[in-house]
Amino acid sequence: MTTSPELELMPGVEPTPLALLMLGRQRDPESERGVDCPGELPAASDPTLVERARAAKAALGDRVFVLGHHYQRDEVIQFADVTGDSFKLAQQAAARPEAEFIVFCGVHFMAESADILTGSDQAVLLPDLAAGCSMADMAAFDQVEECWDVLREAGVADVTVPVTYMNSSAAIKAFTGRHGGTVCTSSNAKRALEWAYAQGAKVLFMPDQHLGRNTAVRELGLTLEDCVVYDPHKPGGGLTVQQLQDAKMVLWKGHCSVHGRFTVDAVREVRERVPGINVLVHPECRHEVVEAADLVGSTEFIIRALEGAPAGSAWAIGTELNLVRRLAKEHPDKTVVFLEKTVCFCSTMDRIDLPHLVWTLESLVDGVVPNRITVEAETARYAKAALDQMLALP
């Protein structure tokens, strides 16, 4: 293995990207996010952290707006001005032109989208730059360009509309904007696909094959045979020209390392253990898991379903653990269990902790703007076209 200068920690030591991610230091040029974390963080054991965050936020007043994704830790969520799924947070970022600083407690692709949707006089900050998304990293810009060439050679690029899940780099959203497509989230994927099929006969859905398949088959009435999986690591995506010509849905071979772990066995097991339990999962879960569940929906949908559920009802939830634990705490009159024993937190979402938030807020109070996320102007222009298309979906 060769070590690039960016990856070098100390002479003679070849760090692995995993080690770098754990340390939250240095840069990984192969990833959608950097992993540099400059500055001195307060100790996690500091008993005054809550007080310090409160004081820094109060000192900043309306100059700062804190967004918190539902998968964030409780210690961070308590300081969010708004909590939401990725769609709601994108809307909220766009709706705050008066905030000088948007502190995004979520992951890198969400902060990039917020930067694209906010004014140039506003700074979007990600408290820990190592908070990326392994799914977003599964689609690199060059691979997507190559895929489009494959579609062109198969004679189908002209009738293909790219639809990109929010969980993707700004460069891929820009690709989508340049080719007349749209971004989507798990709460509007159905509407995004309906819109796309009104523009062209075929959709290239990136990077989450499961959200693409689940939406196409369960909500638009396509068959599993209408869908093919494009593997960016195989020549021609591992597909024949005939397969590409016949497919209505070309799914990128990407998945969520958290949601991809829920199993049909876990659904069966919880139904046996708790008769009458409702199984509710996120659409990033595999197709067979979604089929075995009772309900499927985005994080915002999951929260609303629990709010509307009668006291005494029982729920097994297949999504990120921070959210499931919070739901269990907020609904003591209902039984709320985590669907799978072997699945854990989203490790990158979890990187944003109270020390990082305190460090970010106190830096702002001191006049330093840390960890600003900026998307280069040309990329931002085309990515914004795809994001605006999403925000305008009927």
- Any contact of residue 209 with ligand 13P (CB under 6 A)? no
> Between residues 135 and 247, which has the closer beta carbon with respect to ligand SF4?
135
Q: Which of 258, 262, 254, 350 is nearest to 21 (CA)?
A: 350
Stretch near ligand SF4 under the rule CB under 6 A, chosen from 26-34, 254-262, 292-300, 301-309: 254-262
What is the nearest approach in angstroms of ligand SF4 to the Cβ of residue 232?
A: 17
Residue 61, both tokens: 């007043």
Please report how close the Cβ of residue 5 comes to ligand 13P at its closest, in angstroms.
32
What residue is closest to ligand 13P based on CB?
A: 85
Interatomic CA distance for residues 290 and 282, integer angstroms:
8
Q: CA nearest 348: which of 126, 143, 174?
A: 126
Confirm or reject binding of residue 285 to ligand SF4 (CB under 6 A).
no
167 interacts with ligand 13P by CB under 6 A: yes
Residue 299 near ligand 13P by CB under 6 A: yes
Among residues 84, 71, 69, 67, the alpha carbon closest in space to that of 320 is found at: 71
Cα(390)–Cα(387) distance, rounded to whole angstroms?
5
Residue given tokens 């970010």 in the structure block = 360
Tokens 């072997």 correspond to 342
Beta carbon of residue 240, minimum distance to ligand 13P (angstroms, whole number)? 32
Identify which of 98, 106, 151 has the alpha carbon closest to the alpha carbon of residue 125: 106
Residues 345-364 that bind ligand SF4 (CB under 6 A): 346, 348-349
Distance (Å) of CA 292 to CA 169, 260, 264, 326:
31, 14, 7, 24
**Binding flag, residue 258, ligand SF4 (CB under 6 A):** yes
Closest CB to ligand 13P among residues 185, 371: 185
214 is a contact residue toward ligand SF4 (CB under 6 A): no
Which tokens belong to 308? Answer: 């509307």
Q: Which is nearer to ligand SF4, 87 or 197 (CB)?
A: 87
Counting residues that bind ligand 13P (by CB under 6 A) gives 9
Q: By the criterion CB under 6 A, which residues form the site for ligand SF4? A: 107, 133-135, 167, 256-259, 320, 346, 348-349
